[in-house]
């Protein structure tokens, strides 16, 4: 199961993608590759938060810079605000609670 949230941001509806899912795509996990391809083919917008951007760049290894930048170009970058922070908190609670 992919952890993706649909959000409304500045009048646009988009899929907010979690860092782990972006990393799965980077590593070639087929379910994630298929999801991204299908979502983009349907004309839907994929988005990541500033936090995801930071996490991806901080985990980047030497030699992955160009590949990482190509991957990042797939996404709309979403600023963090209270609503998104709260939504992320609910998501994290739901995924780590027994």
pLDDT digits (tens, 9 = 90+) for 38-63: 989 998 889 998 888 999 999 889 99
Distances (CA, A) of 97 to 83, 90, 91, 94: 21, 10, 10, 6
pLDDT category at 1 given cuts 50, 70, 90 is very low
pLDDT at 79 over 70: yes
pTM for the whole thing? 0.73
Res 2 pLDDT > 70: no
Domain count, the chain: 1
Distance CA 36, CA 97 (A): 27
pLDDT digits (tens, 9 = 90+) for 3-23: 566 666 566 678 888 889 999
Show the domain range for 85: 4-96
């Amino acid at each position: 199961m992919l952890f993706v949230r649909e959000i409304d941001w500045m009048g646009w509806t988009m899929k907010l993608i979690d860092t782990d899912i972006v990393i799965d795509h980077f590593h070639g996990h087929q379910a994630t590759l298929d999801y991204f391809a299908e979502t983009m083919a349907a004309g839907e917008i994929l988005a990541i938060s500033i936090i995801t951007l930071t996490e991806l760049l901080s985990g980047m290894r030497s030699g992955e810079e160009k590949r990482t930048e190509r991957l990042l170009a797939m996404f709309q970058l979403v600023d963090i605000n209270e609503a998104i922070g709260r939504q992320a908190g609910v998501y994290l609670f739901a995924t780590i609670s027994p």
